[in-house]
Chain A
Amino acid sequence: MADPLNLTRRSLIERMMLIIGATATGGFSMSTLAKAATGTRHLDEAKFTVLGAVADTIVPKTDSVGALDADVPARFDALLKDWASAETRGEIVAAIAEIDALAREKQGKSFAVLDAATRHDILAPHDATSLKVLPSSGKGGMASFTGFPNYTNPGYGRIKELVVTLYYLSEPALTQELIYEHAPGEWQPSIPVTPETRPAGGIGF
């Protein structure tokens, strides 16, 4: 059974090109993170800081807002408290620790204190390895597009999915990165694509 999350050889080539060409341009600001982290947190200070660095590395601030601008770490932490099961929470916390351990192994320092380029260099290969999709035993069809994939590293898969989802559903991302209209009004089945065209955001895919 084909799984869309493994896509095609063409997309794999594209993926490689994207990774080769990727550069992390954003900076990780402890003060921004501290500002975002209000109220009672699930994660302890050290893990929360690593989470913030991971989120900032996955979706950095570039010419547009990044995960920290969208309060992703604090909202992620809230999901750990309010949404995740004990099992999922355990997977995620372990995956955060795993990334930090990787940084300590390679750089002798916590992931949270590394500069953006070094963080990117550590996380990018970890991302590629962790997100290989094993053959799914679940339903195909639409479920393949909406269900949680069978990643080799499910804990990291959760982190990536939650960071990305929280970012692209955030008000800053939907108003500055993508386009979003709550009530589009008219249905126009065909409009031209221009250099300014951005994909529409929202809860769907």
Chain B
Amino acid sequence: MFDAIVIGSGMSGGIAAKELCERGLKTLVIERGRKLEHGASYTDWMQPWELPNAGMIPQEELARDYPIQSKCYAVTSATQQFWVKDSEHPYTTPEDKPFAWIRGHHLGGRSIMWGRQSYRLSEMDFEANAKDGHGTDWPIRYADLASWYDHVEKFIGVAGSKEGLPQLPDGEFLPPFGLNDGELVLKQAVEAQFPGRKVIPGRVANLSQAQPQHEALGRTSCQNRSFCSQGCSYGAAHSSLSSSLPAAEQTGNLTIVTDAIVHSIVHDPATGKATGVRVIDAGTKEGRTYEAKVIFCCASTIGTAQILLNSKSDAFPSGLANSSDMVGRNLMDHLFALSVAGMLPNGPNTYYHGRRPTGLYIPRFRNVTEPGEFLRGYGFQGGAMRMGWRSAALAMPGIGAALKERVRKLGPWMIYVTGFGEMLPNPENRVTLNANKTDKWGIPTPHVACTIGENERKMAKQMIIDGKAMVEAAGGMVMSVNDEPGEPGLGIHEMGTARMGKDPRNSVLNGFNQAHDVPNLFITDGSAMASGGCQNPSLTYMALSARAAHHAVAFLQEGKI
């Protein structure tokens, strides 16, 4: 028997395992995918001319095996190994409600390919549900999580600038990756013409300047290559493989099993506790059970809902920890793909050196410093760059020496901004299990029904108006607008299917991420989120994971669980 089991080795599971191991618990991490090795499993060594098929996955293979994953911007022949084959991992959606479930099954999960944007939720985010009545009130406030944000930021390393904004609290930052001159044009124009709006360097979990605690794990400073999603052999990009799992291993308390697909969590009605985890070997399809005193479920929002809903018993006929009927409900993502891009005809005559791993960020201003005809708000990510060889060669006809000559010249500055908007929690956006469809391991497949509502549509409309106004304020000529939200899931910020709350009747987890119904079960991935804010959420998952691990160990020591 282990002291603790952590289901999932991604962003949340890695931090949970580290924190549990460092507190002395013999901890088993169960990963459904294959083992990856930090460095050896990466493709960041490939020169551009070495990329298989010039970076492209064969078209017929892409259509056959990756029809969903191929919608993600980061899917290339160099990252192909990190994405699931949709053909082997089916799920269903209603025909009129597409949902793109973007995922990778391997040690480290999506922490290998994530965008690394790292922003804190603020007090107004934790108060939002209580104030406007959507969702259920968070059982915690910013002050409960602030020190855990500090803790995680110091460990993973987040580069960013301190701005003093109430809607986007500052953190324990490494030096920022500075804005380039095109972005400074946007910053000066936006901040002058729209008081209250700010254009800041994107906060990102890359080591702009490695600190001793990072170097102790073999991590070094970012080399500004922008191959992050191919795996970072320098360890400059935070991932479970570069950071949290090595830290856990150093304690001597960590055991990892891979290729073990969790079927369900075992519950003992006599004690009311979870006693173990049933897994199916991915290769042999044989089943086995691991036992532990405390269980952390960090299988990702849809994965966690699938496990809980499949963990049926007489005590929990509709799924483990589901007395509230909230497991699987309130699925959220962020509004995504709403973009504006424009040229700067009179941009600065300068360039930049390096490929920094982030861009710019425009924190939320609607319903903060400016009103909105909707609830909640949105932030923008984006950047400015001088257009390069691809656009110079292909954006207009022309061949021969003239083509080569124009490619040799620096292109014009292009500015782009993409909005990330908050989706309201809606219990009808939910994950259920298909009664008659199973995967090749015999586990019922998820059915995901999720769509945006009227509030999100109003938000999307204003997002485009604001994006265009800011690009134009900088002197930009708007060239491209996408005013249609991407299908839910493409933000890759799934949240909410086992939400935290004060009331066990309408929430799954309490203020310690502890299941109301099962005291030794903790859930700290995106499913715990009672609301989504508009900020990229992984930093919050990690802070919740560290905080929950701290409390779980205390509860164990006190004999409470």
Contacts and interface: CB of A to CB of B under 8 A. Distances in A.
Contacts of B481: 1-2, 140-141
Contacts of A165: 54, 390
B479 A79 contact: no
A128 interface: yes
B403 interface: yes
A75 to B, nearest CB: 8
B398 A15 contact: yes
Given A139-B486, A141-B482, A85 B63 contact: yes
Interface string B51-78: 1011111111001000000000100100
Given A88-B59, A202-B355, A127 B478 contact: no
Given A79-B53, A197-B410, A58 B400 contact: yes
Contact of B416 (A10, A24, A123, A142): A142
B389 interface: yes
Interface string B342-384: 0101000111111110000000000000000000000000000
Nearest to B208: A187
Nearest to B76: A203
Contacts of B76: 203
B505 interface: no
Contact of B395 (A4, A25, A83): A4
Contact of B391 (A79, A191, A205): A205
A29 interface: no
A199 B58 contact: no
B45 to A, nearest CB: 8
A44 interface: no
Interface string B308-349: 000000000000000000000000000001111101010001
Interface string A177-190: 11010111111111
A62 B180 CA distance: 33
Nearest to A58: B399
Nearest to B486: A139
B341 A204 contact: no
B401 A201 contact: no
A187 B353 contact: yes
Which size class do A's interface residues fall under? 35 or more
A21 B56 contact: no
A202 B408 contact: no
Interface in A151-173: 160-162, 164-166, 168-171
A120 B400 contact: yes
Given A191-B353, A193-B350, A205-B388, A82 B225 contact: no
A83 B56 contact: yes
Contacts of A59: 399-400, 403-404
Interface in A24-64: 24-26, 57-60, 62, 64
Nearest to B478: A2
Interface in A105-151: 120, 123-124, 127-128, 130-131, 139-146
Interface of A: 1-5, 7-8, 10-12, 14-15, 18-19, 21-26, 57-60, 62, 64, 75, 79, 82-86, 88, 120, 123-124, 127-128, 130-131, 139-146, 160-162, 164-166, 168-171, 174, 177-178, 180, 182-193, 197-205
Interface of B: 47-49, 51, 53-60, 63, 73, 76, 177-181, 208, 222-226, 337-341, 343, 345, 349-356, 386-411, 416, 418, 477-484, 486
23 contacts: A4-B391, A5-B394, A11-B396, A18-B405, A19-B397, A19-B398, A21-B402, A57-B400, A123-B399, A124-B398, A124-B399, A128-B398, A139-B482, A162-B54, A165-B54, A166-B54, A177-B404, A187-B224, A190-B351, A199-B411, A203-B51, A203-B76, A205-B391
Given A75-B54, A174-B49, 13 more contacts: A18-B405, A59-B404, A83-B57, A83-B58, A84-B59, A139-B482, A142-B341, A145-B341, A160-B399, A169-B49, A174-B48, A177-B408, A185-B354
